[in-house]
Amino acid sequence: MKKIFIVASECLPFVKTGIAADMAAALPRGLDPQKYDVRVALPFYSCIPAHFSKDFKYAAHFYLSTGESINNEYVGITTYERGGIKYYFIDNKRFFGGPRPYGEIRADLEKFCFFSKAALSLLPVINFRPDVIHCHDWQTAAIPVYLKTEFADGEFYRGIKSVLTVHNLANQGTADIKTIRDLTGFSPELFVPDKLEFNGRASLLKGGIVYADAVTTDSRAHADEIQTPEMGEGLDGLIRTRGDVLRGITVGLDHDLFDPSTDENIFVKYNVNDFWARKWENKALLQRQLGLEEDRSKFLVGVVSRLTNQKGIDMLEDALGEILDGFTQLVVIGTGDRRHEDILKEAEWNNRGSLSANIYYSRELSHRLYAGADALLVPSRSEPSGLTQLVAMRYGTVPIVRETGSLKDTVPPFNEYENEGLGFSFLNCSPHELADAVAYARRVYFDMPIIWQQMMLRDMTADWSWKGCVEEYGEIYDVLCEN
């Protein structure tokens, strides 16, 4: 049986801020338990809900030093089993006692350097020697470095392989060289341009990419994008040199969590047999709730997003005059940069009945929007692991996306001559192209209702579960175990 150790800074259902939490949960659930023994290591954050932590069981403790800044710190090991998966929570109140998993960067660097070495050091204590350690983002990127340096001569660790999944290349765990040395205890020889040195500083993520046996990211398209200067965040040259171990694997969606036939958040439940009528009911009730003109014939477009330039919100704002043509309504849900929040609220005031700007996040309202909207707009400049387009399709809401990252992978554009595709897309970061894509979708919605209905059905029945992603990671684990 192959032994896999997943080390992550977050994991559902205990703590989540991003896609890493979904993947850290989906892989151990999805892999064949007859073939893989998968265990997970996480920090024991104080913010983990008490209905979980009250059942954590003390297993052992020891003391750990990493570098000059972390000396003889307590490492508590608590265990918890859920769904047949064994979780190990690393306890240290100094590092993990705050109200949130992440905070100020200096404190985060300290706690995740500690966590990375502690996760490796606990393995002999729990008598678990993995064949592969799967790390996520900069928070655990020190692990591949430790495996090939400080831990390389230890008989217990010899031959253990590592996978590093990069969910967010922009966040690299970067600081001055002395700080990283003091936090990790890495030798001076590692802080050179072909290892951890990065623009005169040190990058933990770069070190992980250099030393990992396999590197993955959250979509096939994004794996190509990060090898370019435009989207490589200064690491494109390194990533190109590691192209032989790089693989883009499109992430999945929890179909049980997002299911319009069981969703208690939406007005009216529906499925593939009655979606055409039931979505109209959800639409009418959503219009009423948000103070929009109650007209089911309007083309209702939703946006669920952080309000930032990276998410393309500036393009959306510049395109509002073309989008709001009298036949279209727009609903925005999200928070972000104050400038975008103010612009959208002013636009709402100037377009009462056509635009609803909800400057907050509500799970209930977002689900009602997925159920009630005709289309969901995702105009991101970069989207390595987007899920909103997958949720939209699950609810029969047709996505309109920019061709980047996972959006490009998961939304093949509509071809009206072959009646194929799952949505609409545009290529360039242009407000006019965005508006043109919305206009094209609107034309199909009004002029080809049967074609639109068929696209909705294709969206609802498309399989974007975690199954395919899990199978691809299983292939990577198998190859690493054999080499």
Please indicate, yes or no, whether residues 291 and 197 belong to a single structural domain of this protein. no
Q: What pTM, to 2 d.p., does this model score?
A: 0.93
267 lies in some domain: no
Span 356-385, average pLDDT: 96
What's the DSSP call for residue 325? S
> Does residue 366 fall inside a structural domain?
yes
pLDDT grade for 392, boundaries at 50, 70 and 90:
very high
Pairing mode, strands 73-82 and 57-64: antiparallel
Task: Report whether pLDDT(152) > 90.
Answer: yes
In a domain, 6, yes or no: yes
Rg (the chain; Cα; Å):
24
Residue 266 lies in a domain: no
Query: Which range marks the domain in which residue 228 is found?
Result: 2-252+467-482
pLDDT tens, residue by residue, 39-93: 999 999 999 999 999 999 999 999 999 989 999 999 999 999 999 999 999 999 9
**Percent of the chain scored above 70 by pLDDT?**
100
In a domain, 177, yes or no: yes
User: How many domains, the chain?
Assistant: 2
Mean pLDDT of the chain: 96
Q: Measured between alpha carbons, how far is 111 from 109 in angstroms, rounded to an integer?
A: 6
Q: Which residues of 358-392 are buried (b: 16+ CB within 10 A; e: fewer)?
A: bbeeeeebbbbbbbbbbbbbbbbbbbbbbbbbbbb
**DSSP result, 101-142:** S---HHHHHHHHHHHHHHHHHHHHHHT---SEEEEETGGGTH
% of the chain with per-residue pLDDT over 90 = 96
Task: Give mean pLDDT, residues 182-192.
Answer: 96
Identify any residues that bridge with 392 across adjacent strands, giving them in sequence order.
Answer: none
- The DSSP annotation for 345-404 comes to HHHHHHTTTTEEEE-S--HHHHHHHHHH-SEEEE--S--TT--HHHHHHHTTPEEEEESS
Q: Are residues 126 and 239 in the same domain?
A: yes
The verdict on 441 and 478 lying in the same domain is no
Longest dimension (CA), the chain: 71
Does residue 332 contact residue 344 with C-beta atoms inside 8 Å? yes
Same domain, 124 and 7: yes
Per-residue confidence (pLDDT) for residue 483, from 0 to 100: 78
User: What is the spatial distance between Cα 111 and Cα 118, in angstroms, rounded to a whole number?
Assistant: 10
CATH number where 397 lies:
3.40.50.2000
In a domain, 263, yes or no: no
Confidence of residue 132 (pLDDT cuts 50, 70, 90): very high
The verdict on residue 409 lying in a domain is: yes
pLDDT of 98 > 90? The answer is no
**Residues 437, 477: one domain?**
no
Q: Assess whether 129 and 70 both reside in one domain.
A: yes
Same domain, 88 and 207: yes
> Do residues 177 and 37 share a domain?
yes
439-482 per-position pLDDT tens digit: 999 999 999 999 999 999 999 999 999 999 999 999 999 999 98
pLDDT band for 360, please (50, 70, 90 cuts).
very high
Q: Domain check: are 111 and 57 in the same one?
A: yes
Position 248 in a domain: yes
d(CA 366, CA 102): 25
Are 182 and 228 in a shared domain?
yes
Query: What confidence tens digit (pLDDT) does each residue in 255-297 have?
Result: 998 999 999 999 999 999 999 889 999 999 999 999 999 998 9
Picking from 160, 218, 158, the residue whose alpha carbon sits closest to that of residue 2 is: 160
Domain identity same for 103 and 6: yes
Q: Are residues 58 and 202 in the same domain?
A: yes
Is residue 381 a contact partner of residue 429, using CB atoms and an 8 Å limit?
yes
Per-residue model confidence (pLDDT) at position 385: 87
Instruction: Kindly report, residue by residue over 320-359, the tens digit of the pLDDT.
Output: 999 999 999 999 999 999 999 999 999 999 999 999 999 9
